[in-house]
């Protein structure tokens, strides 16, 4: 039997987009990536004196047990170069299991659903893009409802890889139908 697992991925060091794409590719042996959200730039929370994150959500269909998947995720993070130096601090890659089908797991090694997911816009915004109607098995609310219930705050913006050094000074202006800038 295959389970659908929802993951949150984040990076705020180096080439954030490349690290996310690498992590997604490395998830393939664990199952089939069913869906990937857009990438979002997100303001750090809790430990705020660090660069903004790039986050996304991934739906993965897997035959792994939750414990097997967690072990694989930790291995992927290590392979990409994550070092756990500072709690909530900067990181090359972070992969969290948000939901594992409708399972509820509370062990020393793993808590599912993720205990803070319902408080984090950087988790819920990308997740709502790919799974708005998925039910949180403890709170009995959909991802969309959880997102709508969040208070104002936790700045987040859709990431466009054109935000790079190739960006022209007029890129902030709205575009007309023919692609020219409207001033």
Residues classed as catalytic:
82, 91, 94, 96
Distance separating alpha carbons of residues 39 and 10, to the nearest angstrom:
9
Distance separating alpha carbons of residues 98 and 50, to the nearest angstrom:
23
User: Which three-class secondary structure state does DSSP give residue 35?
Assistant: strand
Distance separating alpha carbons of residues 59 and 129, to the nearest angstrom:
11
Listed as own residue / partner, the contacts of 108-114 with beta carbons closer than 8 Å and 24 or more positions apart are 109/67, 109/70, 110/66, 110/67, 110/70, 112/66, 113/137, 113/138, 113/139, 114/8
Sign of CA dihedral 81, 98, 62, 158: negative
């Amino acid at each position: 039997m295959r389970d659908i697992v929802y993951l949150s991925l984040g990076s705020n060091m180096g080439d954030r987009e490349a690290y996310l794409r690498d992590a997604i590719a490395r998830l393939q042996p664990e199952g089939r990536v069913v869906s990937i959200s857009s990438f979002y730039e997100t303001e750090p929370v809790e430990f705020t004196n660090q660069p903004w994150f790039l986050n996304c959500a991934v739906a993965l269909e897997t035959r792994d047990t939750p414990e097997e998947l967690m072990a694989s995720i930790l291995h992927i993070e290590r392979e990409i170069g994550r070092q756990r130096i500072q709690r909530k601090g900067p990181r090359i890659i972070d992969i969290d299991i948000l939901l594992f089908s409708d399972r509820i797991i509370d062990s020393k090694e793993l808590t599912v659903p993720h205990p803070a997911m319902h408080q984090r816009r950087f988790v819920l915004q990308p997740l709502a893009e790919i799974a708005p109607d998925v039910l949180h098995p403890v709170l009995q609310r959909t991802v969309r409802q959880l997102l709508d219930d969040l208070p104002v705050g936790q700045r987040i913006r859709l990431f466009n890889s054109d935000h790079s050094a190739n960006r022209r000074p007029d890129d902030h202006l709205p575009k007309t139908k023919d692609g020219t800038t409207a001033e």
